Amino acid sequence: MANSQGKIFGINGPVVTVKGCDSFEMQEMVYVGNEELIGEVIGVTQDTAIVQVYEETTGLRKGEPVKGTGGPLSITLAPGIISNIFDGIERPLKDIRNISGSFIERGLKVNNLDEEKLWDIKIKAIKGDYVTGGEVIAVTQETSLLEHRIMIPPNVSGIISWIAPDGKYKISDVIAKIISGEDTIDVTIKQRWPIKKARPYAKREPISKPLVTGQRVIDTMFPLAKGGAAAIPGGFGTGKTMTQHQLAKWCDADIIVYIGCGERGNEMTQVLDEFSELIDPKSQRPLLDRTVLIANTSNMPVAAREASIYTGVTLAEYYRDMGYDVALMADSTSRWAEALREISGRLEEMPAEEGFPAYLASRLSAFYERAGYVTNLNATEGSVSIIGAVSPQGGDFSEPVTQNTKRFIRCFWALDKSLAYSRHYPAIQWLTSYSEYLGELEDWYADNVSGDFIEKRNAIMAILQEESSLMEIVKLIGADVLPDSQKATLEVARTIRAGFLQQNAFHADDTYVPLEKQNKMMDIILLFDRRIKQCVEKGVVLSRVKESGVADDIIRIKYSIGNENIDAPFKALAEKINQTFDGIMYGRAK
């Protein structure tokens, strides 16, 4: 079919109306105007199509042509994605810089991926094999950390009639020919996929493994599962971005997709700089070797901001299909929702809550449902975990984006302003946060860390709960009037807050804490809890416990005990605590 063409009729911000063509399809990608700006058809009526443009529309004239491409907005999937930084529609920002300098000009034509680079390809399939979608036919080392598995596109199957030998190829080279029915299909290294359509898989699997992040408040208190979805809501300055960065650095996924959606330019630069320098502790390679960045900063065109989320999740699914665990960070989904609102407003659609369109909830659910732990078409297992930051207006969690997000995620890390003000980071409020994955992960923790891990976690949570109800009283009458048993609870809770929940992202050891150490820290805290309660029963004055400095020792564990060879120092500390308490309770017992 010849590509359709129309003419610009009206322009309002990123929304352009087109007349003179009735063959545009919904979600078709189009080129707008003489500069060929990229756009997408978002509405079709008799003789009129509505197009959202992914670039600035200043200078567009009425009557300029709008050309259809015959297909939906798609991105290129091939080696060369990892370590790269793209804009919202997969245009590599480094190449854009080479063309237009420090600033991003409009209507630039760049390839999504490097088409010239030769990849060292090892062929895995042989002629005569019957292959189906998703099957791996070749591999190449994409980065030092990652083997890229080249797959048959999902909708193709048949018998291999010809296959290339091992060697160096460009991504557009044909490496296999497949006979499917009457047709012969050329399979290239690269494939294209429409961003708004989820890539298929064989079967969804139940959640069973945690995404280990090395952050105590997350791993121990509110764990996220591989294949799960989490939200981090918080007002400005509560540390959403810091938390996302920490997760991107330390979580045990194979690949990180980091989407800067409508956020600050300097933050993306920081991620780029920092991840090139930071070394992955397991592989001793730069973290950037497992990371792909998508940057659509707040001053870049708003329609591309809407696309950036889909581009990111499509890239994540592509690597999942190869059998990898992928973690996707979206910072921030509120900016994406606002992009929807802005475009909806320009279309003069009937607004629902706070001006957001009525389809906000369905779009959010469609996005978060692309997370999952699956068996792929090629029978490998892979996962996409989604961590979305939410920036509620005025820090008020009752606004539509937070509320609707809450319905589709199962792990909620609520950031709290007053914690952030007192520089308690990560400022995840333990009373309002939750993780529904706790039950499903209990077995994993029991098998891999400690049989009573979840039990201990619950004991700590109970102490914090009790503290919060005591604080209500303290706020009214002061802590001095409380009985000793309750003062003891406050003291234990203080050590939990400062020693366990609070974590220093800038400290070499404390920035990432293995589960083993988290477990032992809980042991020590619960030991302290038991001993201090014994003191209270014996009627020992609590101030003596305070003077002994035991609590300070526990709070300093994060600095005083490293991450390796931890058994001996923890044992020594436990002994010291026991001796100190024995001393307090029974006099000079040695």
Partner 1 sequence: MAIEYMGLNNIQGPLAVIEGVDDTFYEEMVTVTLDSGEKRIGRVIEISGDKAVIQVFEGTSDLSLTNTKTKFMGEPMRLPLSREMLGRTLDGAGRPIDGLGDYFADEIRDVNGQPINPVSRDYPNNFIQTGISSIDCLATLIRGQKLPIFSGDGMPHDELAMQIARQAKVVDGDDKSGEKFAIVFAAMGVKHDVANYFRKSFEESGVLGKVVMFLNLSNDPVVERIITPRCALTAAEYLAFKHNMHVLVILTDMTSYAEALREVSSSKGEIPSRKGFPGYLYSDLASLYERAGIVKDAEGSVTQVPILTMPNDDITHPIPDLTGYITEGQIVLGRDLSLKGVYPPVSILPSLSRLMKDGIGEGFTREDHSDLANQLFAAYSKVEDAKSLASVIGEDELSEMDKKYIAFGREFDSQFLTQGHNENRSINETLDLGWKLLAMLPKGELDRVSDEILEKYYKSAEENAE
Q: How far is the CB of 488 from partner 1 (least distance, A)?
A: 16
Residue 469 as a binder of partner 1 (CB under 8 A): the answer is: no
Q: In the bound complex, what is the minimum distance in angstroms from residue 196's beta carbon to partner 1?
A: 22
Q: How many residues bind partner 1 (CB under 8 A)?
A: 81
Question: According to CB under 8 A, which residues from 383 to 422 bind partner 1?
Answer: 391, 393-396, 418, 421-422
Read off the amino acid at residue 503.
Q
Structure tokens at 578: 């026991």
Yes or no: say if 241 and 224 are a contact pair by the CB < 8 Å rule.
no
Dihedral sign (CA 397, 400, 402, 407): positive
The answer to whether residue 473 forms part of the interface with partner 1 (CB under 8 A) is no
Residues 224-253, mask of contacts with partner 1 (x by CB under 8 A): -----------xxx----------------
User: Is residue 107 involved in binding partner 1 (CB under 8 A)?
Assistant: no
Site for partner 1 in 294-323 (CB under 8 A): 295, 297-300, 302
Question: What is the nearest approach in angstroms of partner 1 to the Cβ of residue 172?
Answer: 24
- Return the residue matching tokens 């030991």: 527
Residues 60-79: x where in contact with partner 1 by CB under 8 A, - otherwise, as a string: xxxx----------------
Smallest separation (angstroms) from partner 1 to the CB of 301? 8
What does DSSP say about strands 158-163 and 15-19: parallel, antiparallel, or unpaired? unpaired
H-state helical runs in 167-239: 216
Q: What whole-number distance in Å separates Cα of residue 193 and Cα of residue 4?
A: 21
Residues sharing a CB contact under 8 Å with residue 270, sequence separation 6 or more, in sequence order: none
Q: Pattern 178-207, binding to partner 1, x per CB under 8 A? A: ------------------------------
Residue carrying structure tokens 């889909």: 310
Q: What three-state secondary structure class fits 11?
A: strand
Q: What character string, x for contact with partner 1 (CB under 8 A) and - otherwise, covers 251-270? A: ---------x-x-xxx-xxx
Position among 116, 182, 183, 348 found at the interface with partner 1 (CB under 8 A): 348
Q: What is the CA radius of gyration of the chain?
A: 28
Amino acid at position 469, single letter: S
Nearest distance, CB of residue 420 and partner 1, angstroms: 8
574 to each of 414, 418, 523, 550, how far by Cα in Å? 33, 33, 9, 10
Q: Which of residues 421-450 bind partner 1 (CB under 8 A)?
A: 421-424
Residues in 508-567 at the binding interface with partner 1, rule: CB under 8 A: 549, 552, 555-556, 559
Residue 283 binds partner 1, judged by CB under 8 A: no
Is residue 205 a contact partner of residue 373, using CB atoms and an 8 Å limit? Answer: yes
Task: State how far the Cα of 220 lies from the Cα of 381, in Å rounded to an integer.
Answer: 25
Pick 264 or 285: Cβ nearer partner 1: 264
Give me 566's structure tokens: 């931890």
Q: How far is the CB of 510 from partner 1 (least distance, A)?
A: 10
